[in-house]
Chain A
């Protein structure tokens, strides 16, 4: 044993050490960063940027992977590699908006339910329970099926399915903090409710919220690509990965590259964010403390 550190280390250095020790977070975080970078730098990385749009090249239809087309070309001659690269903009963007709106709606509702309790709590949670009674995909499917197919519809449909999870999460946090004696003494001292919510409840809720969000990114991306695959989401010529898999389905037996690469992109992205979320959960889980 080399170092004799007998005093308790600070919380941030503990967290940082756990990050270093945890390969999941490192790998997942790396993948997530790569995806974001690819999305941002798409115009620079894609050899044929126009192919991500409505360009068609009837002469180079269905070419196998080669030096000039790393992932081959699709049924109207577009470079698949470029489309996959641009696709990195589509899915994470959907995830971003879904989570943003879900939080914007779900968190205040959860705070209200947990903090005020009583009738407000009952009312909000009953409605939430109804939504939670559906598997998310089913609800999103149901909504997406009645809306005109587009990216916006998908985003909206998935959001409607997703917000209850945040409400329940925040409500749990709010309720447990609101029940603590020191909050009561705050109230007795006359401290305003808003202050209590912001100074005491929210900081405690941040950690599980971060974990939930990073896990949800993967889930939303999978759901969105499933909806696009079913034809309810992005439409041609948007380079959505799920849509590309669906379009390549009929050619799949002979031109395997149409389906393989976009699907692989979905897999890797979801995998990366899920690993990140899983690793974060390990690190930030307060139950990890050991009695000394």
Chain B
């Protein structure tokens, strides 16, 4: 077991390293000069040259990559060209906002997807099942940026029910200053008992979270349905039925334990996917997360920032995959044998 795990971890590290190299290579194709982007287009050549030396851009590519890796492990992820701040501190500010969004979205997706998937499996091929199946396909076919705009129009414009931009109302924040612990307003407000801020940040969170939840909800519902039906078709379930247990017992006591494993897998994978999906939604909701940061970095050819964002998401993705592997082994004893 430990050998399997160390193997997976080493592989993960290798993959992340590969990703970094890839990003570097991508950024090298950039038909622009980051040093110019840093200093501004009207800076004199000497200043640009100086900046270039400062940023280490005059070294050969493989040296740059080497120094970058060195930096990654020592906490120096480079300096962002468009914010002029260390990339790591930029990330530290931007990541909690995106995390809050993704976690909220996943909670909503699980709350919607799991019950619907179970219902769909229980009433197989009946109208309810068909409806849920269409619904989940709808979820994964939704252009998120469009859905965000439509939601804004309906809930903000027409119904005046929900606020439209930002993580919270700045007026409320002024009146009831929020102590920052995790960087996620909802959680910070909760643990400090700051109820006005809790209300404000929750009401700002709902719309973007629901939009981001569309895709994972669809995927989860589908996966739950498939997993339950698969498990129900297996011989050991027939055996328990043949022993005279009620369908409900068969379902809840015997089948469900095995059905969860693939679902857990999917949830972990969808987490990283949703993190990237927030890119599309953050600019519309003025959400100060990774997406906004990444968009700004791309616009200004900010290589260290782009690499930093890519690296972070690759790490999340790889960790999620690893977590999936471990949970699978724990949940389904049959996999141990492989």
Contacts and interface: CB of A to CB of B under 8 A. Distances in A.
Interface of A: 23-24, 126-127, 129-131, 133-135, 137-138, 141-143, 145-148, 218, 222, 225-226, 229-230, 232, 242, 245-246, 249, 252-253, 256, 259-260, 263-264, 266-267, 270-271, 274-275, 278
A222 B141 contact: yes
A130 B21 CA distance: 10
Closest 7 CB pairs of A and B: A263-B146, A270-B141, A130-B18, A145-B298, A271-B141, A135-B276, A266-B143
B161 interface: no
A179 to B, nearest CB: 15
Contacts of A230: 279-280, 295
B26 to A, nearest CB: 6
A245 B145 contact: yes
B142 interface: yes
A138 B276 contact: yes
Interface string B127-161: 00010011001101111111101101100010000
B318 interface: yes
B194 interface: no
Interface stretch (B40-48, B59-67, B248-256, B306-314): B306-314
B260 interface: no
Given A130-B22, A260-B150, A266-B143, 10 more contacts: A131-B22, A133-B314, A141-B279, A142-B306, A226-B280, A232-B298, A249-B284, A252-B153, A259-B150, A266-B146
Nearest to A225: B143
Contacts of B142: 267, 270
Interface of B: 11, 14-16, 18-19, 22-23, 26-27, 29-31, 130, 133-134, 137-138, 140-147, 149-150, 152-153, 157, 272-273, 275-277, 279-280, 284, 294-295, 298, 306, 310, 313-314, 317-318
Nearest to A144: B298
B30 A146 contact: yes
- Interface residues of B, dominant DSSP: helix
Contacts of B14: 126
B156 to A, nearest CB: 9
Contacts of A256: 153
A71 to B, nearest CB: 15
Contacts of B11: 129
A141 B317 CA distance: 16
A259 to B, nearest CB: 5
A4 B157 CA distance: 62
B62 to A, nearest CB: 18
Given A135-B273, A138-B276, A263 B22 contact: no
Contacts of A148: 31
Contact of A137 (B29, B149, B276): B276
Contact of A245 (B18, B31, B149): B149
